[in-house]
Amino acid sequence: MQEFVRIAFLGIVGVLLALQFKGQKSEYGMYIGLGIGILILGYALRQAGAVVAQLNRLRNYLGGTESYLVILLKVIGITYICEFSAGICRDAGYQSIAGQIEVLGKLSVMFAGLPILFAVIEQINGFL
């Protein structure tokens, strides 16, 4: 938890520094933002190893039904891509496009999760 507070603080300090340079030398603000972004990305990549280890552990629990894990990973990927894209569009001032990306993401997640819904329905029908 303490690491996340440090990263959040780093992001806030980076934004405040970039804002200080925005009026005088806007390119410095851009460089600061890029540098902070790279530092945060490096931290995220270090955390990816822990995520992969947990996913392998989850795969062991699932046994032969790894298709559920694949669906979970697809849904997570869709969510991150849509959130990232919508954030960029919002920052650029295109809120309507960001909203459309979010709607597309929600529909994609719904369709990606349909096989799990069907499996649950089949399980319920098996009990009846």
Domain locations along the chain: 1-62, 64-128
Amino acid 3: pLDDT: 81
Q: What is the DSSP letter of 127?
A: H
Per-residue pLDDT in tens (0 to 9) along the chain, 128 residues = 688 888 888 888 888 888 887 777 777 877 887 888 888 888 888 887 788 888 788 777 777 677 777 888 889 889 988 998 898 888 888 899 999 999 999 999 999 888 888 888 888 888 87
pTM of the model: 0.63
SS3 58: helix
Q: What is the DSSP letter of 61?
A: H
Helices 26-62, 2-22: crossing angle, 10 deg rounding:
160
CB 117 within 8 A of CB 126: no
Helices 67-91, 95-127: crossing angle, 10 deg rounding:
160
Residue type, 97: I
CB 78 within 8 A of CB 109: yes
The Cα–Cα gap between 72 and 112 comes to 9
